[in-house]
Copies of this chain bind each other. A is one copy, B any other.
Amino acid sequence: MSERNRQVLLVETPKGKLGPEHFRLSEAAMPVPGKGEVLARVRYISLDAANRAWMQGATYRSAVEAGSVMAGGALAEIVASKAPGLRPGDLVFADTGWQDYAVLPAKRALKLPKLKPLTHLLSVYGIAGLTAYFGLLRAGRPKRGETVVVSAAAGSVGSLVGQIAKIKGCRAVGIAGGAEKCAWLTGELGFDAAVDYKAGPLFKSLKAAAPDGIDVYFDNVGGDILEACLFQMNQHGRIACCGAVSQYDGAPAPHGPRGVPGLIVVKRLTLQGFIVMDYAAERAKALKDLKSWVAAGKLKVREDIVDGLENAPGALIGLLAGENRGKRMVKVA
């Protein structure tokens, strides 16, 4: 245990776009667990657009401050424990931050089963899968035959949302950036249609892809795409508000989408914000469903694994630019 602990620090809170200059690789002494704590070896770090939102201020967690280890959830293996219930070799999910090793209070570590591939614990059976599952089914409440539209559809959550919509008998429409991603959604993942928001104004292409209007919109991006969908929602439609990635990487938007609250009233829409933790009590049922769908080949899981802790900053910057397909994570060890 004389090994040094590499850490990626957030050296400055970005005012505009996140860049490599906001991070620095550093080294610290190996941390030592105290009573009730564990020492965990970070294996895979989960990269999420929300990581960028955490730099903007307090959200559902406190802000990531300049000068501290960059925060982030990871799959980690216990190497030493001073807490009952966790033993060396156990796998956990925890906010370890971007580093080789972390000391954590045991109660902050969620023990996970060992399954293959391990990375599925960060994608379909992790926050991404559960977010897609609960957000669509609980906040979106799709009914058979309805049209479900999801933005950031080629991302970790969106790629699952569209497939779960299909499993539930809905028409699934994805909004993504670029023809290649769109072709992947319809060709590989079984989406009924895909709309390339980079190819021009969204209104007409969305209308063509969702000719009967939108019943459920799963919103990962906010901003102009939320606005475009608002105007094409059907009466009594539901918008599952999952994130606002269009608003994270830069200055806060000067204003919100038009049509709020006018369209919400006239169309009797429900907009519901949610965080996956809100549904923690129903996790077992969700995992059972997700596992059965993966086993049956109904849910295809795409993972985008970047190698090396030192590459985490670039991988997050790329994710915010939309270069990933499916769940992006960083293999640390």
Contact = CB atoms under 8 A, between A and B. Distances in A.
Nearest to A56: B262
A281 interface: no
Given A256-B258, A261-B241, A261-B273, A266 B226 contact: no
Nearest to A275: B268
B271 A261 contact: yes
Interface in A113-168: none
Interface in A267-303: 267-275, 278
A236 B162 CA distance: 26
Interface string A234-271: 00000001111001000011111111111111111111
A266 B247 CA distance: 13
User: Mostly helix, strand, loop or mixed at chain A's interface?
Assistant: loop
A257 B258 contact: no
A260 B262 contact: no
Name, among A252, A258, A266, A275, the residue most crowded by chain B CB atoms within 10 Å (CB to CB): A266
A219 B262 CA distance: 11
A222 interface: yes
A208 to B, nearest CB: 22
A226 B241 CA distance: 18
